[in-house]
A and B are shown apart, each in its own frame.
Chain A
Amino acid sequence: KAGVTQTPRYLIKTRGQQVTLSCSPISGHRSVSWYQQTPGQGLQFLFEYFSETQRNKGNFPGRFSGRQFSNSRSEMNVSTLELGDSALYLCASSLYRVTEAFFGQGTRLTVV
C-alpha cells in the first residue's frame, strides 16, 4: 500500500509570491490534515479536510488555505509569502477521524 505522497519535496519562493503544495493520502483514507513545522514553534496544526470539507482549522492567518478533491487528494495554498512561512509542511492521512495519522515526507518551503 503506497504511503502519503507530498509534492514537491522542496520549494524556494520569493516574498510576496504564492505557493501550492499537494498531498495524496493513503488509498481509502478520507481525512487529510496539514501541519507546519518550524524550529521556533514546533509542529502546529493548520487545518483538516474530510470529504472535501474543511472540518477543523488551526490558528493561522487567512493567507493559508486549502482544499480537498473528490479523490481525497488535498492542496494547501499560501498567498503573499512572508519569510516566516519558511517551514516544513507536513500532511497527515487518516481513515475517518484523526485516530491513526500517517504522515508524508513533507514539503520544505524556503521563502527568500
Chain B
Amino acid sequence: GEDVEQSLFLSVREGDSSVINCTYTDSSSTYLYWYKQEPGAGLQLLTYIFSNMDMKQDQRLTVLLNKKDKHLSLRIADTQTGDSAIYFCAENDGNKLVFGAGTILRVKS
C-alpha cells in the first residue's frame, strides 16, 4: 500500500533555509503536496507539484521532486519564526491524500 515517510523534527535559525524531506512509495501518484499545520488549526495547502515536474518555486518555497528515488523536498528560504509549524507531505493516489506523519519545524530567533 501507499506509505509516506518524513523526518520528525527540524530546528533552524531565523534567516536560514529549511529543507524538509519526504519519501513516498506509490509511483502512480499524480500529485504531491506540502501542507502546513499550526497549533489548533487545520491544514493549510502550501504548494503541490505534478508528478511530471522536477521543481516548482513559489516565493520563498521551492519543491524538488526526484521521481526515480520517490523523494520530495520542501525548501523554505529565509525561514521566519512564523514558519514554525508541522509540515505534512502527502501523495494523491487518485482517490485520496495519503499523508506522512509530519515534520515539526522549530525556528530559533
Contacts and interface: CB of A to CB of B under 8 A. Distances in A.
A12 interface: no
Nearest to A105: B42
Contact of A43 (B31, B44, B48, B88): B88
Main SS class of interface, A: strand
A99 B43 CA distance: 15
Given A99-B31, A100-B48, A45 B96 contact: yes
Contact of B97 (A55, A98, A106): A98
Nearest to B99: A43
Contacts of B31: 99
A48 B99 CA distance: 16
A45 B96 CA distance: 7
Given A98-B97, A101-B97, A106 B92 contact: no
Contacts of B43: 90, 92, 103
Nearest to B45: A102
Nearest to A88: B42
A45 B41 contact: no
Interface in B51-109: 88, 92, 95-102
B44 A99 contact: no
A58 B100 CA distance: 16
Given A98-B92, A99-B92, A42 B45 contact: no
B95 A103 contact: no
Interface in A41-55: 42-43, 45, 48, 55
Contacts of A43: 88, 97, 99
Q: Which 6 A-B pairs have the closest CB atoms?
A: A43-B99, A103-B43, A45-B96, A56-B95, A103-B42, A105-B42
A45 B98 contact: yes
Contacts of B101: 42
Contacts of A106: 41-42
Contacts of A72: none
A104 B35 CA distance: 13
A22 interface: no
B92 to A, nearest CB: 6
